[in-house]
Amino acid sequence: MVLGTPNVDSGAAGKRAPRRESRRVTAPPPSSPGKPRFPILPVIGFAAFLLVVAFAFALGNPHSQAYYDYTFRIARALLGGELGIHEGVSWLNELVPLNGWFYSVFPFGSVICQVPAAWWQSSRGSTEFPARETVAFLGAGIALFAVVLAKRYNDSPVRRGFFVLWLLFGTWLLPNLLMGSAWQIALGYSVLGQLGALVFTLYSRRPLLAGFFFAVAFGNRTEVLLTAPLFLYLLLRYDTLRGDTGDPSVPFATRLRQGWLVAALFCVFPFLLGVSTLWYNAARFGSPLDFGYTRIPGVLDEYWYKPGLYSWQAILMNVREMLFVPAWEARTEFPYIVPNQMGGSILSVCPFLLYLVRPGQRDAALRRVCWLAIALLLVAVLPHGNAGGLRFSYRYALPMLPWIWLLLLDRRGGKITVWEAMLWAVSVFFCLWSAYLYYWTPFGFGG
């Protein structure tokens, strides 16, 4: 054998093996099973839902909503370096005249929330309050946070949507927010801010963002500040539904000591807004605790303020307004059943609230916090001498709505029962019927 020559079988000598046609096989591209695909269709559907909600809130009132624009006017003045306006406005009777200026009694946070709208309008050369756009923004924002917060529980999409739609279209939120006045806008921001704070407390623990939205809430409704300790508790406690890891048996006092940074981050924006509010009050009225309400011309001469802005006598009046005053009036001609334009019981406009007393819970500690939050807000609201002017149901219960909604959401999941569906449908009908009568017929405010 010659070195380097292949060893060939002698029987195959002189014969050539047939050549096989070589085919190049292309391997499939490597797959990455660990990398999830971007859920483009759910995102598009969610964005479409928010857009529909925004249009529903924007177009629900065909009339102008720009008249009672207290906070927007002060926000425009603030952009010019002033805390008030030079001339009074005849229909804005809650402006306080003092030393040649006219000031608003709305808290500083509600003015700050209107600064972006004031800047946007000034850049367009307009001085009109964009109430319609603001209402649309609030509706879409509330829907966004409600959808995210509903994902905290492993309920079916149908059940989550059931509760989100009830919050938007089955409560006293929509008919009041559609008025678009400064009072209703402030209440809407309090609902939006609390829901945002709850999202970044219960769903994803982000204390700085939770504090920011909490500042939005109490900046528009000062009584929300009473719930600050409850948010701190929810941030620091061990929460399995939030996906917390670690030892659940660690006492809360230890968690409080170890979580000082979480508490500090939550307090950043509320502290800044609180200090700014005290300065804002002192710069206008000479006292950091003077919001100016008693300075409104003639306010203390009104019948319901005879005992003072806050009094024990007002508690029974507010309880009656919130729970027992009939919210509907019967007529002999169309539309036959009409809402009381001066309020009415939240139970009679939203019978789905009856499920608050039904047993069943998934987070006992959260339920106790929700009831305590409602009680604290009631302590601040019930002694107030006036339940409000033109309104749908008891509008001062709006800051309690996020906590009421959480209580209902926390009940045991499962299929929607027939009674749940019936009370839900009645509540949604009452809400939409009232909005229609208020803003699209001569009966209501637009007439």
Determine the Cα–Cα distance for residues 216 and 270; give it in Å rounded to an integer. 8
Dmax over CA atoms of the chain, in Å, equals 126
Please tell me the distance from the alpha carbon of residue 381 to that of residue 309, in angstroms, as a whole number: 11
DSSP assignment, residue 26? P
Question: Hey, what's the torsion of the CAs at 126, 131, 136, 137, to 10 degrees?
Answer: 70
The pLDDT assigned to 13 comes to 44
**Three-state secondary-structure class, residue 415:** coil
Q: What is the pLDDT along the chain (447 residues), one digit of tens a residue?
A: 444 444 444 444 444 555 555 455 555 555 455 556 767 888 899 999 999 999 999 999 998 778 899 999 999 999 999 999 998 888 898 899 999 999 999 999 999 999 999 999 999 999 999 999 999 999 999 999 999 999 988 889 999 999 999 999 999 999 999 999 999 999 999 999 999 999 999 999 999 999 999 999 999 999 999 999 999 999 999 888 888 877 787 888 888 888 899 999 999 999 999 999 999 999 999 999 999 999 999 888 888 888 888 899 899 999 999 999 988 888 888 888 888 888 889 999 999 999 998 877 888 899 999 999 999 999 999 999 888 877 889 999 999 999 999 999 998 777 889 999 999 999 999 999 999 998 998 876 544
Please tell me the total number of residues recorded for the chain in this structure.
447
CA 214 – CA 191 distance, rounded (Å): 10
pLDDT of residue 9: 45
Measured CA to CA, the distance from residue 317 to residue 320 in angstroms comes to 5
Scored b (16 or more CB within 10 A) or e, 159-182 reads bbebbbbbbbbbbbbbbbbbbbbb
User: Residue 50 has which token pair?
Assistant: 């928010």
Q: How far apart are CA 49 and CA 432, in angstroms?
A: 18
**What per-residue confidence (pLDDT) applies to 314?**
92
The CA distances from residue 7 to 4, 17, 18, 84, in Å, are: 9, 15, 18, 105
Q: Which helix (H) or strand (E) holds 76?
A: helix 70-79
Report d(CA 21, CA 23) in Å as an integer: 6
